[in-house]
């Protein structure tokens, strides 16, 4: 059974989005989609409504104790359940998980300036496998535990590490841009991991694309190639899996 890790962000899911339809179709074809989701836009909306300032560093949200409560509540309690409900309504079978469940994601703080933000040390794939073996699509909210403390963990990083832990066949990032572009706005249709250091050092890749690229490189320990595609396009996921040229392929 082919395992496909699919990272989706709230910004790619609109009224006419077909991503969840594609995910259900994959399950019905006997494939094993594993969904990792973000929810940055909704988190920011809630933080703004509560009067909590938001700042970012290298594409990662600086997270104090108050922000952490909102991050966990929105990701695990709202976005995750909305996605699970939508997949089930479309005829799929989905179960929601988070990086905290079963101690799935062991994380550690690596930059004190980011506050309660962690990097993944280890993924225990057992909870994910249990859901898959029961015939359900795992829908995973990011987050991790450092001892007894919850940490905000970037969803792109979680997706890359989950792909490695599951020895996935495919890693696909759905974004709200066409793919990875250079400073002039020209799309990279193919990138090789050996090129990444130079692109990052020269800030050709910047902002929210930085954690995606690191996650892509990490996922290459399991998959032959990772893809960054525009999830706003109709049936973008199915088109990518069918070999249609779309977005950026990282090898």
**pLDDT over threshold 90, residue 58:** no
pLDDT digits (tens, 9 = 90+) for 78-112: 999 999 999 999 999 999 999 999 999 999 998 99
pTM of the model: 0.94
At 13 the pLDDT is 61
The contacts of residue 15 (CB under 8 Å, 6+ apart) are none
Range of the domain at 202: 3-250
Check which CATH number belongs to the domain holding 177 and give it: 3.40.1160.10
The reported pLDDT for the residue numbered 135 is: 97
Structural domains of the chain, count: 1
Query: Rounded distance, CA 177 to CA 131, Å?
Result: 31
What confidence score (pLDDT) does residue 197 get? 82
* Residue 64 contacts residue 105 (beta carbons within 8 Å): no
Distance of CA 55 to the CA centre of its chain: 20
Averaged pLDDT of the chain: 93
Q: Three-state DSSP class for 91?
A: coil
Q: Averaged over 161-189, what is the pLDDT?
A: 93
Query: According to the model, what pLDDT value does residue 14 have?
Result: 52
Q: Please, are residues 4 and 168 in contact by the beta-carbon 8 Å criterion? A: yes
What is the C-alpha to C-alpha distance for residues 159 and 156, in angstroms, rounded to an integer? Answer: 5
Place of tokens 């396009």: 233
């Amino acid at each position: 059974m082919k395992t496909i890790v699919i990272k989706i962000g709230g910004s790619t899911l609109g009224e006419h989005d077909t991503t969840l339809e594609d995910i259900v179709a994959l399950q019905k074809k006997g494939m094993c989609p594993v969904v990792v989701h973000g929810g940055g836009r909704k988190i920011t909306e809630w933080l703004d409504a509560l009067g909590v300032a938001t700042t970012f560093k290298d594409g990662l949200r600086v997270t104090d104790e108050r922000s952490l409560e909102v991050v966990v509540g929105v990701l695990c309690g709202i976005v995750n359940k909305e996605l699970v409900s939508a997949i089930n309504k479309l005829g799929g079978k989905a179960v929601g998980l988070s990086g905290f469940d079963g101690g799935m994601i062991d994380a550690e703080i690596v930059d004190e300036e980011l506050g309660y933000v962690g990097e993944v040390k280890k993924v225990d794939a057992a909870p994910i496998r249990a859901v898959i073996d029961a015939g359900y699509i795992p829908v995973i909210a990011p987050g991790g535990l450092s001892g007894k403390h919850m940490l905000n963990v970037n969803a792109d990083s979680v997706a890359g590490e989950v792909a490695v832990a599951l020895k996935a066949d495919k890693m696909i990032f759905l974004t709200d841009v066409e793919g990875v572009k250079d400073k002039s706005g020209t799309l990279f249709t193919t990138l090789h991991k050996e090129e990444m250091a130079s692109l990052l050092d020269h800030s050709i890749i910047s902002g929210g694309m930085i954690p995606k690229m690191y996650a892509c490189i990490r996922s290459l320990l399991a998959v032959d190639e990772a893809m960054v595609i525009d999830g706003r396009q109709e049936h973008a996921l199915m088109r990518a899996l069918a070999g249609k040229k779309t977005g950026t392929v990282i090898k």
